[in-house]
Structure 1
Amino acid sequence: MKKINFLKVGVIFSLLLFLCSNLSAQQFILNDDKLIDDRAAIKINEIGAEVKSKLGVNIYVYAKSNLGLGENVKTKDKIDFIKNSENQIISTLEEPYVLLTIAVEETHVNLLFSDDFKDILDKNDILDGYIVPLLASQDKNTLFAKVSAATLNGYAAIADTIAEANQIKLESSIGNAGKVSSTIWRVLMYTLIVLGLLAYTYAILRKRK
Structure 2
Amino acid sequence: MSAVPSGVIIRPARPEDAPRVARLLALRGISVEEALEQAPRMIAALPVLLLASLPADDVELAGLDGGASQPPKLDAIDPPVGDDDTAAPIALSGAFLLPGDLEEGRPERWMVSGLIVDPGARSRGIGRALLAAVGVAVQEIEPGEDLFSVVETANHASVAAHLAAGFKEAAHVDGYAGLVFDGDALLMRLPGAADH
TM class by shorter-chain length?
under 0.3
Q: Rg bigger for which structure?
A: 1
With normalisation by structure 1, the TM-score equals 0.27
- Greater strand proportion: 2
